[in-house]
Structure formats: structure tokens, C-alpha cells
Chain A
Amino acid sequence: AQSVSQHNHHVILSEAASLELGCNYSYGGTVNLFWYVQYPGQHLQLLLKYFSGDPLVKGIKGFEAEFIKSKFSFNLRKPSVQWSDTAEYFCAVIAYGGATNKLIFGTGTLLAVQP
């Protein structure tokens, strides 16, 4: 069965610090990978996605993620965080070509950025 692990449950950073959030998945085949962000009181929004090709994916708001197939990882990065990046971040995976299009989410990482 597919699963997603986010090992950092709660991260606190100061503004301008660099960010890296870990995401590891368990699945033997080809996957589509996503990072979603949920700002306080809001719904989930797509940050970036990986389908194929260049393993370094750039998303909105200066975020990027690197797909490392050998490590089953899809870590999210940002060189310099802002206070407005305070949110909960979810990694998600789906089996490529899966008939049901079901996303499996990680448990989320709560990021607090201190001004």
C-alpha cells in the first residue's frame, strides 16, 4: 500500500532562514507527487507538482522540490522564508496511471515563521 511520511511535524524558523521539509513515500512504481499548503483557516492549495522530467520542480511563491527516485523522497525547499509562509504543508503521492486517482497525504508539517 502507498504511504507518505513527513518526519517534521512542527518547524519554527526566523524570517530569511532557509527551509527544507522532508517527504518520503512508499510505492514501488512510478508516482505523481504534490506539495499542498494550507494557510490558517483556508483550504488546501497546490504549491507544486512532479509528473516526469526534470526532478527539480519549481512552484509558486519561491518554493521548489526535488524528486530523488532512489531515496523515494520529494523534499520541499525555500531559500528564504517569510512570515507569510506560516502554514501547514502537506506532501501527497498518487500512483501513476492508477485507475482511481486517489491521493495519499502525509500527516502535514506545521511551519511557524517568526518575524
Chain B
Amino acid sequence: NAGVTQTPKFQVLKTGQSMTLQCAQDMNHNSMYWYRQDPGMGLRLIYYSASEGTTDKGEVPNGYNVSRLNKREFSLRLESAAPSQTSVYFCASSERTGYSNQPQHFGDGTRLSIL
């Protein structure tokens, strides 16, 4: 099925470990995003990439890094995991049509627990 694919779906880490979350989309979208979802806080943008070769910080970037590997792939890295990073992480992609910002398509999420 076309869409946004995230791996892994679940992961448990120990404090201080590093990890990379992978995201790929096959819709030829220019823009890609990483969010975290926490109870009562909605979705908060971590980083985004408006187009291939560019990345920018979102609302909560501390403790994370990203790489836009190519147009399809956008990875999120935790260099030294902390319990506060326990969350569900969603990747999304979207396209622009003129000045209209088309809806974002979301992946299934990665449930990350840090002990």
C-alpha cells in the first residue's frame, strides 16, 4: 500500500542508548515531518524537512537529530535516550499545490519506551 512506512513499530531502550527511527514515503512528497505524541499534549513537531536537502527545528527538537537521506526517507535519531523521550513518534509527509498546504499523511507510529 502506498503511504508512509515507519520502522520499528516498538522499541525499548535503556537510558543513554542511541537509536534511529526510520521513515519512508512513496508518494513523491517534498515535505516530511517528525512528531511526538504524548497524552494530553496532542502532536508536537520535532523536526521537519520542507524539501530534500533541508531540515529545520520544530517545537521540541532538543535531544534529537534528523537526516533527510533523499526525497523518500527522513530519519530521526536519539543520540542519548532519556526517559522523557518515552513517547509515540509519528512521521508524516505532504505536498504543496501552489499556495495550498495539502493534508499530511501519517505513518503508523513507533512506540518508544526508555527505561
Contact = CB atoms under 8 A, between A and B. Distances in A.
B106 A32 contact: no
Contacts of A105: 42-44
Chain A binding site: helix, strand, loop or mixed by DSSP? loop
A103 interface: yes
A100 B99 contact: no
Contacts of B100: 32, 51, 96
A30 to B, nearest CB: 9
Nearest to B103: A46
Contacts of B33: 102-103
A97 B99 contact: yes
Contacts of B31: 101
Interface string B33-48: 1000000111111001
A32 B101 contact: yes
Contacts of A9: 40
A42 interface: yes
Contacts, number: 53
Interface residues of B, number: 25
A75 to B, nearest CB: 17
B52 interface: no
A95 to B, nearest CB: 8
A43 B42 contact: no
B42 A100 contact: no
B106 A102 contact: no
11 contacts: A9-B40, A43-B106, A44-B43, A44-B106, A51-B100, A100-B50, A100-B56, A101-B96, A101-B101, A102-B45, A102-B58
Interface of B: 31, 33, 40-45, 48, 50, 56, 58, 90, 92, 94, 96, 99-101, 103-104, 106-109
Given A102-B48, A103-B101, 7 more contacts: A44-B106, A90-B43, A96-B100, A96-B101, A98-B101, A101-B31, A107-B41
Interface of A: 9, 32, 34, 42-46, 49, 51, 90, 94, 96-103, 105-108
